[in-house]
Amino acid sequence: ENPHYSFVQARFGNITKSMLTLFALMSTPDLDPYQDVLRDFPIFTAFIISFIIFGSFGLMALLTGVIMESMFEKNEVRKEEERNTMEQNRRILVRRCEALYDRIPQRDDVAKGEALREDVQDTLSEIAELFMEMGVVFVEGDLEAMLDVMDADGSGTISKSEFRHFILQMAEGVRPMLLMELYYAVQMMKMRVESMGGDMEERKDLAEETKNESHELHELVRTDIRSVGDAVYELVATQKAMTARLEQALAASIQVPMQMPHLPQVPMQRLY
């Protein structure tokens, strides 16, 4: 008889006992009660060890996957709720900012839809109250510094879009003052590049006009040179014709003898 029959029967007598025993070994691998059995049955030993190793890893991976999946789902739900809350607060803030900007008095010497920096500065206290009401974390100095960079186009005035843009950026907390200053520098650089582009277009047009004028001047000079050349050619031809006629006249005068008129002889008388 097998000395381990009663032990094996108690642990692996049926399917239910075997599943419970294997689950206990997988969750808490205590092999002290199995030392005699493992020593006498090497195949069983290899099975138990393999089952504990792979079963433990599998159970750990399963539990980890379930926990992580649950955490991911909760995180996605939380992000969606935060996104909806942020979008709702953004819409509320946009309406409040536009209403606050519309209350700024419109000056006659300022373009329509624009407000002076001094007038916007008077609304800083209301902006601070709005931030505290919306639960926005801000520093008092940021509001003062915001005015220096809010005028992105450098016009000396602040439009509704600039006012709303920077208020929203500060409320969302994604743009600290350094990035806001960087945005201002980029806008200024963009304006300078556009201005330089306009100057380049004007210079290009001027160069094109100069090129056309130079071409016309070249054509005029070439026409004048052609006219002078024709005049010189005609003058040389005329000179040659006159020279030929002069030579013909000179030759004719040499061939015909000169006839002197006959003068009568007058006797010489003594006058005394």
**Nearest 5°: CA angle at 208, between 202 and 213?**
125
| Among 90, 101, 84, CA closest to 134 | 90
Q: How many domains does the chain have?
A: 3
Domain boundary among 82, 109, 131: 82
Confidence (pTM): 0.39
Return the amino acid letter for 17.
Answer: K
List the domain range (segments joined by +) for residue 150: 92-176
User: 149 near 184, Cβ under 8 Å?
Assistant: yes
List of residues 6+ apart from 124 with CB closer than 8 A: 143, 144, 147
CATH number at residue 11: 1.10.287.70
Report if residue 30 sits inside a domain: yes
List of residues 6+ apart from 39 with CB closer than 8 A: 45
| pLDDT digits (tens), the chain, 272 positions | 677 788 888 888 888 888 888 888 887 878 888 888 888 888 888 888 888 888 878 878 888 888 988 888 888 889 899 888 888 888 888 888 888 888 888 777 777 778 887 788 788 788 888 878 877 777 766 777 677 667 666 667 787 777 777 777 777 765 545 555 666 667 677 777 877 877 777 777 787 888 777 778 778 878 878 887 787 778 878 888 888 777 787 777 666 554 445 445 545 444 44
User: 164 near 98, Cβ under 8 Å?
Assistant: yes
Report if residue 105 sits inside a domain: yes
Q: What is the pLDDT of residue 134?
A: 77
Return the amino acid letter for 82.
Answer: E
β-bridge mates for residue 115, sequence order: 158
| Among 26, 35, 30, CA closest to 7 | 35
Same domain, 20 and 64: yes
Say how many C-beta atoms besides its own lie within 10 A of residue 58's C-beta. 12
Same domain, 96 and 162: yes
User: 158 near 151, Cβ under 8 Å?
Assistant: yes
Same domain, 19 and 38: yes
Q: What is the pLDDT of residue 1?
A: 60
Report if residue 239 sits inside a domain: no
Same domain, 11 and 70: yes
